[in-house]
Amino acid sequence: MTVAPLAIALEGVEKRYPNGTLANSGVSFAVAAGEIHALVGENGAGKSTVMKMLYGLERPTAGALRIHGRPVDFRHPGDAIAAGVGLVAQHLNLVPSLTVAENVVLGHEPRRAGGRLDRAAAAARVRALAEQSGLAVDPAATVASLPVGVRQRVEILKVLHRGARILLLDEPTAVLTPPETATLFATLRQLAEAGRTILVITHKLDEVKALAGGVTVLCQGRVTGSARMAELDEGALSHLMVGRDLPPPPPRRTARTRPVPRVVARGLGYVDDDGAIRLRDVGFDVAPGEILGIAGVEGNGQDVLARLLSGAAIPSAGDARLDGRVFTGLSPRAVHALGVAVVTEDRLHDGAAPTLSILDNLLATRYARPPLSRRGLIDRGTARRWAQAVIDGFGVRAAGPDQPMGALSGGNMQKLILAREIADAPAFLVASQPTRGVDIAAASALQSRLAALRDQGAAILLISADLDELLALSDRIAVLYRGRIVARFAAGAVDAQTLGLHMTGLGPSLDGDDHDAVA
Partner 1 sequence: MTPSREGARIALAVGAALALGFAVMACVSDQPWAAFRALLTGPLPSIERAADGRVVVHRLVRFGAWLQDATTLTLVGLAIAIPFRARQFSLGADGQLFMGALAAAAISLGLGDTPTALPLAFLAAAAAGAGWGLVAGLLKTRFEANEIVTTLMLNVVAVQVYRLVVGRVLNDPSAGFITTPPLPEAATLAPLIARTTVTAMVLVAPAAVAAALFLLRRTTLGYEIDLAGANPWFAVRAGVPVARATALAFALGGAFAGLAGFHVSNALLKRLPVDLTPGIGLEGIVVALLARGRVGALPLAALGYAYLRVGAQAMERATDVPREVVLVIQALIILFVVSDRLAPLALGLARRASARIGGRAA
Which of 43, 53, 44 shows the shortest CA–CA distance to 15? 53
Nearer to partner 1, 250 or 406 (CB): 406
Cα–Cα distance, 385 to 20 (Å, whole number): 30
Nearer to partner 1, 323 or 424 (CB): 424
Nearer to partner 1, 211 or 408 (CB): 408
Nearer to partner 1, 77 or 179 (CB): 77
Which of 151, 181, 199 shows the shortest CA–CA distance to 299? 151
Least separation, in Å, of the C-beta of 424 and partner 1? Answer: 12
Helix (H) or strand (E) holding 295, with range, is: strand 291-295
Least separation, in Å, of the C-beta of 20 and partner 1? Answer: 9
Per DSSP, what are the bridge partners of residue 39?
Answer: 201, 216
Least separation, in Å, of the C-beta of 328 and partner 1? Answer: 15
- What radius of gyration do the chain's Cα atoms show? 24
Least separation, in Å, of the C-beta of 197 and partner 1? Answer: 22
End-to-end CA distance of the chain: 55
Cα–Cα distance, 441 to 475 (Å, whole number): 23
Nearer to partner 1, 180 or 439 (CB): 439
88, burial (CB in 10 Å: exposed 0-12, middle 13-18, buried 19+): buried
Least separation, in Å, of the C-beta of 239 and partner 1? Answer: 23
Least separation, in Å, of the C-beta of 476 and partner 1? Answer: 27
Least separation, in Å, of the C-beta of 469 and partner 1? Answer: 22
Nearer to partner 1, 230 or 377 (CB): 377
Nearer to partner 1, 35 or 360 (CB): 360
Helix (H) or strand (E) holding 8, with range, is: strand 6-16
Angstrom CA distances, 245 to 236, 239, 248, 444, stand at 10, 6, 9, 12
Q: Letter for the amino acid at 285?
A: D
Q: Is the CB of residue 40 less than 8 Å from the CB of residue 200?
A: no
Task: List residues near partner 1 by CB under 8 A.
Answer: 17-19, 21, 23-24, 44-49, 52, 57-58, 221, 310-312, 331-336, 342, 344, 349-356, 360, 363-365, 367-368, 373, 376-378, 380, 407-409
**In 243-379, alpha helices (H):** 302-310, 332-337, 358-363
